[in-house]
Structure 1
């Protein structure tokens, strides 16, 4: 839940900014359609000549060797290692590690395997990133390593990327490791451990939003944050500054009325935790929880919206959330 009311927005992604021109704008709009001055994205092919070669294993930084000669201008998506996991479908939340090289200049580019870098998290096929990322992973299985040759129309266009040191019109080569894919209707399953009796109880509804039942009458809502782990995940603890993929539902303690739910606007959402972009109750309640957990948070006004009304949330409201932590990068 953001500090301001409304739907959780997808965070600006690393390559969305990087893939724009020197003014920081993306090469493509949010709809994924090319701008009026940009050439149409060519259909990808499985091979071309000449082609770079790749060495190294899935899950580690690749070594890219460029061939003699200039690229032929084709958009190439070639499977180097075939994965065996779930297939990536349009709008799935996909996590990708990448190695990159500018074929035109021969320069190595930033890799997610470099120190201080993170995998790329985005919705596949939604137009958030350049086609080299956006389209290449569709129909591929997790565990797959791809070699992608991106001519300007599938990469950084004629404006290039000043942030990455890519000149306009350059062809860029990527090795993409598809590590995880989560459909928008993903949820955390498993038997629920209910919170204490004086806190809201939760009913699992499978792929639908859980039902949250607030205690009737006394006791009064707590004045401190209450955190209950309903399903304990086996993933790593969430760290401050990570981007999470979550499903969530929020109701008012006062009357049990639902005021927000990811199920009401497209399913699983991405957000950044521990940086002040969320209400304090989320930052405090989610950092340290294990990925794969379902967590209930009872958030007093001081850690929510305080004395300011927010759309359907009255001033001074105690908020109750059930949150599925699906992924963290």
Structure 2
């Protein structure tokens, strides 16, 4: 993404690259293999929510996040106040595409919208810019949450990614607060092309 595109890169630099890559890169390759179910990926020691935040008693699931809109259109994303941000990567296909799933090393062309958990505001959207983002899956061009969360995505699928801080921007930067959980809705425009 142009402004926040690099915000999604690995680490601070990588987190910045993913935001640029995931949020408005000019690459035009996108192999997508959608998962038929929600997947939770353990990320090792995940960053916890801010110590100042009071727990709601349970972590949110993919089903708690409201998403409206169809593939190819800008989604509306609603994060509830009734649960805590997940501590592990959540991957959930909202609609499945077709063809083989994306593998490491393949080119992806993605559209995405990014909402920050703490303030529930849209931080970036390639839909709004009208330019999808291109990346090579697993090449470290984007945040770990994207490199892990887009594995298996199929062309034409819409996928929800809930990215904990340790797979996103950790200490923050590029407009992202420290220990921020990121919510993406991604559309796989093309996979492996």
TM-score by length of 1: 0.42
- Mark the runs of 5 or more structure 2 residues left unpaired by the alignment: 18-41, 46-58
Which among 135, 145, 148 is matched to residue 148 of structure 2? 135
Q: Partners of 2:43 and 2:80 in 1: how far apart?
A: 24
**Deviation of 1:74 (Å):** 2.0
Whether 2:85 is the aligned partner of 1:74: answer no
Q: Partners of 2:16 and 2:121 in 1: how far apart?
A: 24
Whether 2:6 is the aligned partner of 1:17: answer yes
The within-5 A match list for 1:188-267 is: none
Q: Which is richer in helix?
A: 2
What do residues 93-149 of structure 1 show as CA deviations (whole Å, max 9, x unaligned)? 10010011001121111100113x521101112222102221211112111111110
Partner of 1:41: 43
Which among 99, 121, 132 is matched to residue 119 of structure 1? 132
Q: Partners of 1:123 and 1:173 in 2: how far apart?
A: 21
The within-5 A match list for 1:141-220 is: 141-158=154-171, 160-162=172-174, 165-182=175-192
**Deviation of 1:157 (Å):** 1.0
Q: Partners of 2:16 and 2:132 in 1: how far apart?
A: 21
Indicate if the aligned counterparts of 2:91 and 2:161 stay in contact, CA closer than 8 A: yes
Structure 1 vs Structure 2 CA RMSD: 2.7
Partner of 1:90: 104
Q: Partners of 2:177 and 2:9 in 1: how far apart?
A: 12
- Mark the runs of 5 or more structure 1 residues left unpaired by the alignment: 1-12, 30-39, 183-325
**Deviation of 1:87 (Å):** 2.0
**Partner secondary structure for residue 60 of structure 1:** coil
**Partner secondary structure for residue 138 of structure 1:** coil
TM-score by length of 2: 0.69
Indicate if the aligned counterparts of 1:42 and 1:154 stay in contact, CA closer than 8 A: no
What do residues 267-320 of structure 1 show as CA deviations (whole Å, max 9, x unaligned)? xxxxxxxxxxxxxxxxxxxxxxxxxxxxxxxxxxxxxxxxxxxxxxxxxxxxxx
The one of the two structures with greater contact order (alpha-carbon pairs below 8 A, sep at least 6) is 2
Q: Partners of 2:101 and 2:128 in 1: how far apart?
A: 27
Equivalent residue pairs, number: 151
What do residues 156-176 of structure 1 show as CA deviations (whole Å, max 9, x unaligned)? 112x133xx210111110001
Instruction: Tell me which stretches of 4 or more aligned residues in structure 1 moved more than 2 Å.
Output: 13-21, 24-29, 40-43, 48-51
Indicate if the aligned counterparts of 1:155 and 1:172 stay in contact, CA closer than 8 A: yes
Q: 1:16 to 1:82 in 2, by over 3 A?
A: same
